[in-house]
Structure 1
């Protein structure tokens, strides 16, 4: 067998192995998707620790005794951009009443997140989930997805869509301690 034929055979074998690995991973991810992050209303919200943009750590269980509006978002997400001004306005009112907003960015650079925070003048903690561990634990797909968690840590409502200001206000009312 000539040297060129050996090289072609090697390249084709490598390509075939990469394709087989990709198909195997896709099948595995789809078959195990249902077992990952299947959170329902009434479940205890899974605890996590994430850092905000200044490096401070936020642990969900540290917010027990308060209502928590947990919002998963991205800088590229148009519906997220629509909701953020409502969240900023309502946070001013509800933070005094024992309701916190935790906005979890999923896997983006600090530069993009900081630019977004400044553009929208976000006044609540913005947490970074670079590894997407929390996103996977909560089964987030698509974004925006929001969890409304009561003061005992139970999920009261899950919203997988863009919300109006009135909807956000009503849901924040429902989780006040």
Structure 2
């Protein structure tokens, strides 16, 4: 019985020793003995100061605790190149030279071991550096053929690196390194890929700042996707009411029974202005009981809008959306942005431009 008590007590002591709610970061530089060492953290708002200390015979120590493991940076003096490491509540050691902070050796952290493996295994790192040198040499000598060849080879390597990055994140969506890398490559991923990764990260790291940031990044993309799905061909076009050039309210559903060409444009948009002569030709030929054009101006001021209308001699339905609320409903991200609606107000075509519009109208109305 006594043995069991001692065994239980010993086990408790061992477990307490293995689990920690604080970290100790011990470092030693082999090329300097004095100077200030700065500990900083990468946040969504930029680089944040955490702590500073002075070197004593080249050694330094930082102590504290973290709620979540995150990526930190260590700078020495005025050196602008830092050592990057994940800090978790454990004992971590750093050794190396201030002249090559990216190559310092970090021990005592499983996350940093994983992060190092990720960086070490990125394909073609040395080859890319050599290709950059060759590109700049070709550029300085005006060797266009070599430049194009290098750029083509580089594109293949970039795609291979992106696939490596993507696969690493998917295989490590249960840890902080994977979360950090997912956040950094989020713009290169499709919504569905991000959703899959985020689901796994939330199951393992719910509440971690990287996961929260990734979720915030994904939210508008999901909203955009839902808006685009609602605006698929065959769906009813969203109805809106805007003021015309005389200030009178105009509703899109006033034109049910006609084919409607909906055109988002602005006076400052050169491609939009270049389309206006084609729209005039289409309206002169087809406008009337069966066809209408509704041009939605995104100009901020009525002056610019009216001036462009007069210059281009536009004579169809002209309305103003200065706040962009209707454009947002239609998920407009660039202009010109066009939609052809059928007689029932349903979407038939999107992004008809130039002579293609004339050809479609000929089929519909002749």
Q: Same fold (TM over 0.5)?
A: yes
The Cα RMSD (Å) is 2.7
1:136 Cα deviation from its structure 2 partner:
1.0
Which of residues 124, 134, 148 in structure 1 aligns to 2:340? 148
Trace 1:95-114 onto structure 2 (pairs within 5 A).
Answer: 95-114=287-306
Distance 1:90 1:61 in 2: 21
Q: CA deviation at 1:33?
A: 2.4
The 5 Å alignment of 1:112-131 reads 112-131=304-323
Aligned counterparts, 1:133-172, within 5 A: 133-159=325-351, 163-164=353-354, 166-172=355-361
The DSSP-based 3-state class of the residue aligned with 1:119 is: helix
CA shift in 2, pair 1:84/1:133, >3 Å? same
Cα offset, 1:89, TM superposition: 1.9
Q: TM-score, normalised by structure 1?
A: 0.77
Equivalent in the alignment of 1:173: 362
User: Does the CA-based 8 Å contact 2:300-2:323 persist in structure 1?
Assistant: no
TM-superposed CA distance for 1:120, in Å, is: 0.3
Structure with bigger RCO (C-alpha 8 Å, 6+ apart)? 1
Higher alpha-carbon Rg = 2
Provide the C-alpha distance between the structure 2 equivalents of 1:147 and 1:174, rounded to a whole number of angstroms: 17
Q: Counterpart in 2 of 1:34? A: 225
Structure 1 counterpart of 2:282: 90
Deviation for aligned residue 1:76: 1.5
Measured after TM superposition, the shift of residue 171 of structure 1 is 2.7
The 10-residue stretch of structure 1 (37-46 or 140-149) with the greater mean CA deviation from structure 2: 37-46
Aligned length: 156
CA shift at 1:37, angstroms?
4.9
TM-fit CA distance, 1:173: 3.4
Q: Where do 5+ consecutive residues of structure 2 fail to align?
A: 1-44, 46-214
Aligned partner of residue 79 in structure 1, secondary structure: helix
